[in-house]
Structure 1
Amino acid sequence: MFSIKLRQGGNARMTEHKKIRGMTWSDPRGYDPLVAASQTFRDRHPDADIVWDKRSLQGFESTPVEELAETYDLIIIDHPHVGAVVEKSCLLPIDRFAEKTALERLFAETVGKSYQSYSYDGHQWALPVDAACQVQAIRPDLVSAPVKTFSDVIALAKDGRVVWPLLAPHVLMSFFSLLANSGAPFPVTRGTAINHTAALDVIGAMATLADLVDPACLTMDPIAALDALCEDNTFALCPYVYLYAPYARANYRANRIVFHDMPSLGASGPLGSALGGTGIAVSSQTKHPDLCVEFALWVASADVQRGLYATHNGQPGNAVAWGDPAVNAPVGSCYSNTRMTHEAAWLRPRHDGYMAFQEDASHILLDALTGKTDPKSALITLETRFDESFDHE
């Protein structure tokens, strides 16, 4: 049985009825498990109600956390926001309330760099409740086996069988994934040069694929791409898309999807995929920090993650859940099938100013892929814009 120990000194008053507001994202994967967990958590704390609101995937990826922290006690965040979070002092450092042993346990149980992605400036700003990176999705009734290489992707794309989400920022995530996979990851610090030879090769490969897929891909995020993969028999493969475990469930959509490790452009297998996933954070303005941290620790724990979290459309971030056959069985073994890609995923920059760069860089890259700008010029602009992002105030 998972037990939670908190450091003493919080300001929560256990005699009052506590109303806690949470903000997550609108997909069932982001909403359903938190609602279920909050209902069960009420059994532990009958004097507390946790109510969740939700925003779109695009809102999740772009809304400043400091705006949400003014209204909500608990917030599901994306790790690239962490640098801005530290700068704005809008979240609580969870390590100041949680016992060190509890955090060490979660660190040991993380999938890949999920726990590390919320560590910044000496503190832990969120706990991973969901792990994801770019993997491949196939229709097993339309293709006999997952593809292994980018050349295999091109071959299927020539037959019109590939769908690929290119809406910002996902085009940039594919660029990051393929660049790291080729052995030349994108810089994470100022003044570090991009490997132009490798980057131009990646842009060239992406442009070749972009020319072969339906132009509608330019308007697709991962959910739209996976819906297209499910809807009819047009597409058989989505080569680079964030893992969405619910799509691997029977009867979740018209056709079931199976997820596998990402196809490789480089020679070292499925490494370097751009890390995604989500973490649960606590607003620095909450009136109930102890209770919020207790909930965060509890919902990130192995018992909850492999239990009610997984059974309510959740996609766990805890490695104990990922290795559990009972968790894998309902979702076509998507966790064990993609474990190598997730363990070898690449961690994006997280400095204050990165989020604006991510949006700008996505459009710079799209212009290069669609022939509006020369790839060499686009790469120089990308490099300049990245260095400028460190001047954010």
Structure 2
Amino acid sequence: MSRLRGLTWDHPRGYNALAAAAGDLIHWDAQPLEGFEAHPLADLAERYDLLVIDHPHIGEATECLVPLDDVFDASELAHWAKNSIGASMRSYHYDGKHWAVPLDAAAQVCASRPDLLAAPPTTWNQVLAVREPVALSLAGPHAFLTFCSIAVALGEEYPVSDATGLAVLDTMAELHGRAPAGTVDLNPIGLLERLSSTDDIALIPLVFGYVNYAPTVRFSDAPGLGSTLGGTGLAITRRATVTDELRDHVRWLMREDTQCGFIPSHAGQPSARAAWAVDGFYAGTARTLENAWVRPRYPGYIAFQAQASALIRDALDGVFSFRTCLAELRRMSQ
């Protein structure tokens, strides 16, 4: 049998463990983070048997993916759901079917430099009081995700009221106005690289957490526990031949001992709740993962997310008023 072809994303967290476990069964390629976030799955599914995906793509990808309910027993799927942190498994459930298993778990959390900031903020008022350099995660879809996470901390999930939306934009604008130069264009990896390697950022109050940067970056729960769920799922495309060997490989990846041992030892970030009990990065952000907001998964959401982020960036730069921004977001959501 020829090797299956898989596509993941080009960061050690996304690639190393999969490649090390693949043996002769799978050849893994990698794409940039921006491709993982935005490239249409239908196009990738024509070329790959396995895809590492972001859950908001599910709504427009069911035609090209195999429902895992046809591959695994209901008891197995229920076990993985019960033992995965937060909504990691549920985020891949759509239209009555499971479309991926959660290989990896993440959410927007607080990242800071312990040598530059004595203690991490736990509320947005504390974030605003920080005088050291603060950067927001605004590139690509992340301006909208940051907006949504702050809204959750204020008690509302998107779509939000004008009062909450204005409060969120006021907070973002104050921080954006004094952010270090060039940070607005950095994706989460770029922000964490800069946070860990220079002294010109002391705090990123919301950014998707990466255990890989924990040696120099202090990760803590998101301010007010307001956060958006990330992570990655492993999906099987309709071009794949589903064999017992492939089923067993996925089962092995989802086993608790694999999630708690093999994956972390290969720079991965597991989804098993048991793995998030370990002191440091995991235990320090587990409450955020357990409570993170799950984004919509309807067809067209990915395009909306990108447009909404561009709109918020323009509003923060003064192109139009915050009320105009909120009205346009509401129109786009209809």
**Interval of TM-score (by shorter of Structure 1 and Structure 2):** over 0.9
Q: CA deviation at 1:141?
A: 1.9
Structure 2 letter corresponding to 1:52: W
> Aligned partner of 1:242: which letter?
F
Are 2:137 and 1:165 equivalent residues in the alignment? yes
RMSD: 1.4
State how far apart, in whole Å, the 1-side matches of 2:70 and 2:313 are. 42
Q: Do the aligned partners of 1:282 and 1:292 also contact (CA within 8 Å) in 2?
A: no
Q: Report whether the alignment pairs 1:36 with 2:1.
A: no
Cα displacement (A) at 1:233: 2.1
Q: Which of 31, 41, 49 is the aligned partner of 1:55?
A: 31
SS of the residue 2:61 aligns to: helix
How far 1:303 moved relative to its partner?
Answer: 1.5
Residue number among 55, 70, 84 corresponding to 1:110 in the alignment? 84
| Alpha-carbon offset, residue 289 of structure 1 | 5.0
The equivalent residue for 2:147 is: 175
User: 1:355 aligned to 286, 302, 311, which one?
Assistant: 302
Q: Which residue of 2 aligns with 1:213?
A: 179
What is the correspondence of 1:131-146 to structure 2 with a 5 Å cutoff? 131-146=105-120
- Structure 2 Cα separation of the partners of residues 373 and 297 of structure 1: 51
Alignment equivalent of 1:69, drawn from 21, 45, 51: 45
Aligned residue for 1:3? none
> Gaps (5+ residues) in structure 2?
none
Q: CA deviation at 1:321?
A: 1.7
CA distance in 2 between partners of 1:235 and 1:155 (Å): 15
Counterpart of 2:126?
152
User: Contact conserved, 1:29 with 1:315, CA < 8 A, in 2?
Assistant: yes
Structure-2-length-normalised TM-score:
0.96
The CA deviation at 1:292 is: 3.2
- Please state if 1:81 is matched with 2:49: no
Q: Distance in 1 between matches of 2:114 and 2:75?
A: 43
Could you give the per-residue CA deviations for residues 300-344 of structure 1, whole angstroms, max 9, x where no partner exists? 221211111110000001112222x4xx5xxxx111000111101
C-alpha distance in 1, partners of 2:255/2:12? Answer: 20
CA offsets 1:186-229 (integer angstroms, 9 cap, x no match)? 03xxxxxx311111111111111111112412101111111111
Contact 1:137 1:257 in 2 (8 A): yes
Counterpart residue number, 2:103: 129
- Change in 2 beyond 3 A, CA 1:289/1:183: farther
CA distance in 2, matches of 1:144, 1:214: 20
In the TM superposition, residue 290 of structure 1 has moved relative to its aligned partner by: 4.4
2:137 and 2:146 in contact (8 A); partners too: no
Q: Does 1:20 align with 2:11?
A: no
TM-score, normalisation: structure 1:
0.82
**Which residue pairs with 1:334 in the alignment?**
281
Q: CA shift at 1:288, angstroms?
A: 3.1
Give the aligned residue type for 2:3.
Answer: K
Distance 1:218 1:356 in 2: 20
Identity %: 39
